[in-house]
C-alpha cells in the first residue's frame, strides 16, 4: 500500500470519465491524454487535454545560471475558470500535492472537484509535474530506457524494520545501499542530468512560469508574483520559493507543514510527534461511529484497543496464510511487518482508511488475512508485460529529490548510525516509527547524486518580509506533519499566520471543512489572514454517516493518491 503495487495501483488508475466537470472541447483541436505528443516550447503552447484541461510542456534550462547544461520540459496542466464576475482578472494558482515525487498532473485531474470547492472558481488552477516526476524531465529512473518501472523493485523493498531485530535493521540498511549503488551507477557518465531534479530548481521553474505568464499578458515579467497552494512536501517547495524570492509572493498557502530545517538536513526526524495519537484516534472514532459503521466496534474505546493489541500480538507470533485466488496469485503469508507497512498510510486519511482498517482488523481477528494481503500488495501478480498500463515508480523521484536536497548532510554511514536513527523514530512513534525509518534518511546513504552549488539550499527557509503574507494551515493531529511544524515555519516568515483545522489526518484535505475553505477563499481574494489563533472545525468525521455526503469519488481518489507520498 505504501509503494505503488499492483493492487494499489489499479485502484488509483485515472479515470477521467468519472470527473463530472463540463467539457469545453474546442472545435477542430484534438484532445490529448498524455504529454508525449507535446514538444517542449519556451512559451506556453496550451493544448486541450484530459477532457477538461489544457496542457503545455514548458522548456526550462536545467541550470538557470549555466545554460550550457541544456534544457528540459516541465509538464503543466491548467483548469481555466469561466468566471467573469471577478473584480480582478483571474490568476493562475499553481499547486503541488506533496511527495517529493508526487505528480501534480495526476493531482489536478483527480482533485479538481475538491480544489474548486476549496479555492472557489474565480481563478485558474494549475499544476505541474516537478522536475524528475512523471511527465517532466530530467529522467531520474534508475532503469534508463525502461518505460514501465512501477514494479521493478523487489518485494519487501523499503519494508518496515523491527527495532528489536539486528538482522532486520541490517537487511534494510543493506537494501538501501543496493538502491544507492545501482541508481548512482545508472546516473553516472553521460546520464548525469538527474542532479538537476531538486527543490531549488523547481522553485526557479515556478518563478519562470510566472514570468512567462506575465510576458504573455503584456505585463512586466520582473515583477510577476506567484500564486500557490502546496501540501505536505509542497510546503517545502513553497517556503523555499518564498525564501529565495520574498518580493515575488502573490499568495502562498502551505498546508500540512514540513519542518524545513529537518527536511534540508535530510533527517526526517521531526515528522512523527503526533503519529501515535493519529492512529489511536481510530479507537474513539470507531466507538463513536457505532457497530453499524465500524466493523471492529466494541463497547468502549478501551475495549477496541484491547482487541487491537490482541490481534497484533497474535499476528506477530503467527503469520497468516492467504490462498484466496481472488486476492493473491501465489501462496502467500501476511505478517506483522505487512501490517506496519499498511498502517503507515492509514492515518493520512482517516475518513477513507479507518473503515478499511476496521475491516482488516475484524478479518485478522478471525484468522483471515485476505484484506491485509490486498492492501499490502503481498501475493499480487507481477505483470511487467508491454500491455500493462504505463506507470512509473514514484520511489525514484521521491528519493532523488529528497536526497539531492539533503546534499549528504545526514550521512548514515554505519549500520550503528541507522540503528540509532531507527530507535529514535521508534521512540517518537511506536506505531509508525519502524516503517518511517526504513523509507526515509537511510535511503540516501549511497545515493550519490549532487546538485550544482547554486541548487543547494542551506539553512532554514525564512524571510523577514514577503510581498504578501503566507497562510499556513495545520491539523490539530497530523500523523506526519505535526502542527508544531506549521508554528515553527510561520515563525520564520514575517507577517505569516497559522490557521488550525481541528481534525485528524494529513493536510486539511483529509477532512472537508467549509470554515477552512472560507479562509482560503478570503485569502485568495485580498490576501487577508484569519485572526491569530483561529481554529476551524471539520465537517467530515470518520465513521459518521452524516458526513458521508462528502465522500465523493473524486475526494477518495485524491486521498488514495496521498497515501503513496511520504509527506
Ligand atoms: C480542421 O482544420 C483543418 C486544417 O487546419 C481544416 O482543413 C478542416 O477543414 C477543419 N475541420 C473542421 C471541421 O473545421
Ligand atoms: C503520469 O501522468 C499521466 C498523464 O500524462 C497519468 O496518466 C499517470 O497516471 C501519471 N502517473 C502517476 C504515477 O501519477
Ligand atoms: C462555468 O463553469 C462551471 C463549473 O466550473 C459551470 O457549472 C458553469 O455552467 C460554467 N458557466 C458557463 C457560462 O460556462
Ligand atoms: C462569481 O460567480 C460565481 C458563480 O456564480 C460565484 O460562485 C462567485 O462567488 C462569484 N465571485 C464573485 C467575486 O462575485
Ligand atoms: C543513458 O540513458 C539512455 C536513455 O535515457 C539509455 O539508453 C542509455 O543506455 C544510458 N546510458 C548509460 C551509460 O547508462
Ligand atoms: C522490543 O522489545 C521491548 C523489550 O522486550 C518491548 O517492550 C518492545 O515492545 C519491543 N518492540 C517491538 C517493536 O517489538
Ligand atoms: C475470497 O475473496 C473474495 C473477495 O474478497 C471473497 O468474496 C470470497 O468470499 C473469498 N473466498 C473465500 C473462500 O474466502
Ligand atoms: C557518506 O559518507 C561516506 C564516508 O565519509 C562517504 O564515502 C559517502 O560518499 C557519503 N555519502 C553521501 C551520500 O554523501
Ligand atoms: C524518548 O522520547 C522521550 C520524549 O518523548 C525522551 O524524553 C527520551 O529521552 C527518548 N528516549 C530515547 C532513548 O531517545
Ligand atoms: C531579518 O531580521 C533579522 C533581525 O532583525 C536580521 O538580523 C536579519 O539579517 C534579517 N534577515 C534578512 C534576510 O533580512
Position 169 pLDDT exceeds 90:
yes
Which residues neighbour 305 within 8 Å (Cβ) at sequence distance 6 or greater? 280, 283
**Residues 111-150: pLDDT tens digits?**
999 999 999 999 999 999 999 999 999 999 998 877 777 6
The DSSP bridge pattern shows strands 320-322 and 124-128 to be unpaired
**Backbone CA torsion sign across 84, 88, 92, 97:** negative
The span from the CA of 537 to the CA of 504, in Å, is 11
What would the grid cell of residue 515 be? 470554515
The residue contributing the CA closest to ligand 7 atom 3 is: 326
Distance 428 CA to ligand 9 centre (A): 7
The span from the CA of 307 to the CA of 298, in Å, is 9
Closest CA to 210 of 249, 152, 164, 171: 249
Q: pLDDT at position 557, please?
A: 52
Cα-based distances in Å from 120 to 125, 171, 212: 10, 49, 25
Place of cell 490576501: 527
Position 372 pLDDT exceeds 80:
yes
The span from the CA of 378 to the CA of 329, in Å, is 9
Share of the chain above pLDDT 70, in %: 88
| Three-state secondary structure string covering 505-536 | CCCHHHCCCHHHHHHHHHHHHHCCCCCCCCEE
417 exposed, middle or buried (CB, 10 Å; 0-12, 13-18, 19+)? Answer: middle
The span from the CA of 138 to the CA of 131, in Å, is 6
Helices and strands in the chain: count of H runs, count of E runs: 17, 12
Q: pLDDT at position 564, please?
A: 47
Q: pLDDT at position 562, please?
A: 47
Q: pLDDT at position 395, please?
A: 85
The residue contributing the CA closest to ligand 3 atom 11 is: 82
The residue contributing the CA closest to ligand 2 atom 1 is: 134
Asked if 495 and 251 touch (Cβ cutoff 8 Å), the reply is: no
The residue contributing the CA closest to ligand 6 atom 7 is: 164
In order of start, what are the domains of the chain with their CATH numbers? 78-139+198-269+458-540 (3.40.50.1820)
The residue contributing the CA closest to ligand 6 atom 4 is: 164
What would the grid cell of residue 384 be? 511487467
**Residues 270-320: pLDDT tens digits?**
999 999 999 999 999 999 999 999 999 999 999 999 999 999 999 999 999
Asked if 451 and 198 touch (Cβ cutoff 8 Å), the reply is: yes
The residue contributing the CA closest to ligand 7 atom 12 is: 324
Asked if 199 and 240 touch (Cβ cutoff 8 Å), the reply is: yes
The span from the CA of 334 to the CA of 337, in Å, is 8
What would the grid cell of residue 39 be? 514538444
**Residues 79-117: pLDDT tens digits?**
999 987 767 889 999 999 999 999 999 999 999 999 999
534 Cβ inside 6 Å of ligand 5: no
14 Cβ inside 6 Å of ligand 2: yes
The span from the CA of 457 to the CA of 238, in Å, is 13
Closest CA to 507 of 476, 530, 474, 538: 474
**Backbone CA torsion sign across 275, 277, 281, 283:** positive
Q: pLDDT at position 6, please?
A: 25
**Residues 4-20: pLDDT tens digits?**
222 222 222 222 222 22
The span from the CA of 429 to the CA of 520, in Å, is 32
135 Cβ inside 6 Å of ligand 2: yes
Predicted model pTM: 0.90
Distance 214 CA to ligand 2 centre (A): 28
Q: pLDDT at position 556, please?
A: 55
- The DSSP 8-state label assigned to residue 21 in this structure reads P
Question: Which run of H or of E encompasses 459?
Answer: none
Indicate the range of 150-164, 264-278, 316-330, 504-518 predicted with least confidence. Answer: 150-164
Asked if 286 and 354 touch (Cβ cutoff 8 Å), the reply is: yes
177 Cβ inside 6 Å of ligand 8: no
The residue contributing the CA closest to ligand 7 atom 14 is: 324
What would the grid cell of residue 191 be? 546520464
Average pLDDT of every residue of the chain: 89
The arithmetic mean of pLDDT across residues 171-188, rounded, is: 95
Q: pLDDT at position 2, please?
A: 29
User: Ligand 6: which residues within 6 Å by Cβ?
Assistant: 163-164
The arithmetic mean of pLDDT across residues 380-393, rounded, is: 63
Place of cell 490539530: 476
Coil, strand, or helix at residue 296? coil
Q: pLDDT at position 11, please?
A: 24
Distance 316 CA to ligand 6 centre (A): 12
Q: pLDDT at position 31, please?
A: 93
424 Cβ inside 6 Å of ligand 9: yes
The span from the CA of 463 to the CA of 331, in Å, is 56
Q: Measure the N-to-C terminal CA separation of the chain; round to a whole number of Å.
A: 15
What would the grid cell of residue 518 be? 472560507
User: Ligand 7: which residues within 6 Å by Cβ?
Assistant: 324, 326-327, 370
**Residues 551-566: pLDDT tens digits?**
555 455 555 544 444 5
**Residues 27-57: pLDDT tens digits?**
546 899 999 999 999 999 999 999 999 999 9
Q: pLDDT at position 387, please?
A: 56
Buried/exposed 146-164: b ≥16 CB within 10 Å, e otherwise? eebbbbbbeeebbbbbbbe
Per DSSP (E only), the strands in 123-282 are 124-128, 226-231, 249-255
User: Ligand 3: which residues within 6 Å by Cβ?
Assistant: 22, 82, 121
* Pocket-testing residue among 81, 120, 121, ligand 4, by greatest number of atoms within 8 A of Cβ: 121
Distance 464 CA to ligand 10 centre (A): 6
191 Cβ inside 6 Å of ligand 5: yes
80 exposed, middle or buried (CB, 10 Å; 0-12, 13-18, 19+)? Answer: middle
- The DSSP 8-state label assigned to residue 17 in this structure reads G
310 Cβ inside 6 Å of ligand 8: no
Q: pLDDT at position 87, please?
A: 73
Asked if 49 and 31 touch (Cβ cutoff 8 Å), the reply is: yes
The arithmetic mean of pLDDT across residues 236-240, rounded, is: 98
Confidence of residue 158 (pLDDT cuts 50, 70, 90): confident
**Residues 199-229: pLDDT tens digits?**
999 999 999 999 999 999 999 999 999 999 9
Gyration radius of the chain over CA positions = 23
The residue contributing the CA closest to ligand 6 atom 8 is: 164
Q: pLDDT at position 560, please?
A: 52
The residue contributing the CA closest to ligand 7 atom 6 is: 326
Q: pLDDT at position 565, please?
A: 43
Asked if 429 and 276 touch (Cβ cutoff 8 Å), the reply is: yes
Amino acid at each position: 500500500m505504501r509503494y505503488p503495487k499492483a493492487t494499489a495501483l489499479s485502484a488509483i488508475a485515472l479515470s477521467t470519465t468519472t470527473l463530472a466537470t463540463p467539457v469545453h472541447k474546442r472545435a477542430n483541436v484534438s484532445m490529448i491524454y498524455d504529454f508525449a505528443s507535446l514538444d517542449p516550447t519556451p512559451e506556453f503552447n496550451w493544448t486541450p487535454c484530459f477532457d477538461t484541461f489544457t496542457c503545455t510542456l514548458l522548456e526550462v534550462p536545467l541550470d538557470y545560471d549555466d545554460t550550457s547544461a541544456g534544457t528540459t520540459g516541465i509538464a503543466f496542466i491548467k483548469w481555466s475558470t469561466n468566471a467573469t464576475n471577478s473584480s480582478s482578472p483571474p490568476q493562475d494558482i499553481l499547486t503541488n500535492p506533496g511527495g517529493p515525487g508526487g505528480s501534480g498532473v495526476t493531482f489536478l485531474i483527480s482533485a479538481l472537484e475538491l480544489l474548486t470547492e476549496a479555492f472557489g472558481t474565480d481563478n485558474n488552477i494549475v499544476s505541474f509535474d516537478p522536475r524528475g516526476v512523471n511527465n517532466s524531465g530530467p529522467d531520474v529512473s534508475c532503469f534508463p530506457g525502461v518505460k514501465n518501472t512501477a514494479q521493478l523493485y523487489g518485494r519487501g523493498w523499503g519494508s518496515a524494520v523491527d527495532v528489536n531485530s539486528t538482522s532486520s535493521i541490517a537487511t534494510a540498511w543493506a537494501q538501501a545501499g543496493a538502491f544507492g549503488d545501482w541508481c548512482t551507477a545508472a546516473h553516472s557518465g553521460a546520464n548525469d542530468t538527474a542532479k538537476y531534479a531538486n527543490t531549488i530548481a523547481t522553485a526557479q521553474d515556478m518563478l519562470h512560469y510566472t514570468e512567462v505568464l506575465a510576458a504573455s499578458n503584456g505585463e512586466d515579467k520582473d515583477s510577476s508574483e506567484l500564486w500557490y497552494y502546496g501540501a505536505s512536501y509542497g510546503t517545502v517547495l513553497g517556503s523555499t520559493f518564498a525564501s529565495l524570492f520574498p518580493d515575488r509572493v502573490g499568495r502562498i498557502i502551505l498546508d500540512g507543514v514540513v519542518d524545513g530545517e529537518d527536511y534540508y538536513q535530510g533527517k526526517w526526524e521531526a515528522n512523527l510527534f503526533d503519529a501515535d495519537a493519529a492512529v489511536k484516534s481510530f479507537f474513539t472514532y470507531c466507538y463513536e461511529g457505532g457497530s453499524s459503521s465500524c466493523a471492529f466496534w466494541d463497547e468502549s474505546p478501551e475495549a477496541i484497543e484491547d482487541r487491537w493489541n490482541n490481534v497484533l500480538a497474535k499476528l506477530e507470533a503467527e503469520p497468516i496464510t492467504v490462498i484466496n485466488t481472488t486476492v493473491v496469485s501465489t501462496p502467500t503469508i501476511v505478517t506483522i511487518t505487512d501490517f506496519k507497512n499498511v498502517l503507515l498510510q492509514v492515518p493520512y486519511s482517516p475518513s477513507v482508511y479507518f473503515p478499511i482498517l476496521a475491516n482488516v482488523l475484524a478479518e485478522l481477528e478471525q484468522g483471515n488475512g485476505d484484506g491485509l494481503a490486498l492492501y499490502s500488495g503481498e501475493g499480487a501478480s507481477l505483470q511487467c508485460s508491454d500491455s500493462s498500463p504505463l506507470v512509473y515508480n514514484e520511489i525514484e523521484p521521491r528519493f532523488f529529490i529528497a536526497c539531492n536536497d539533503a546534499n549528504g548532510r545526514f550521512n548514515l554511514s554505519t549500520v550503528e548510525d541507522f540503528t540509532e536513527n531507527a530507535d529514535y523514530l521508534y521512540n517518537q512513534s511506536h506505531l509508525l516509527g519502524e516503517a518511517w525509518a526504513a523509507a526515509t534518511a537511510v535511503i540516501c546513504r549511497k545515493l550519490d547524486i549532487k546538485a550544482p552549488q547554486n541548487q543547494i539550499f542551506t539553512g532554514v527557509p525564512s524571510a523577514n518580509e514577503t510581498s504578501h503574507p503566507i497562510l499556513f494551515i495545520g491539523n490539530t493531529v497530523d500523523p506526519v506533519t505535526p502542527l508544531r511544524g506549521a508554528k515553527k515555519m510561520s515563525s520564520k516568515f514575517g507577517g505569516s499566520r497559522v490557521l488550525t483545522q481541528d481534525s485528524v489526518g494529513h493536510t486539511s484535505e483529509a477532512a472537508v471543512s467549509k470554515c477552512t475553505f472560507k479562509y482560503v477563499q478570503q485569502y485568495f481574494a485580498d490576501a487577508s489572514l484569519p485572526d491569530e489563533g483561529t481554529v476551524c472545525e471539520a465537517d467530515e468525521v470518520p465513521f459518521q454517516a452524516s458526513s458521508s455526503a462528502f465522500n465523493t469519488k473524486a475526494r477518495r481518489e485524491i486521498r488514495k493518491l496521498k497515501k503513496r507520498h511520504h509527506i
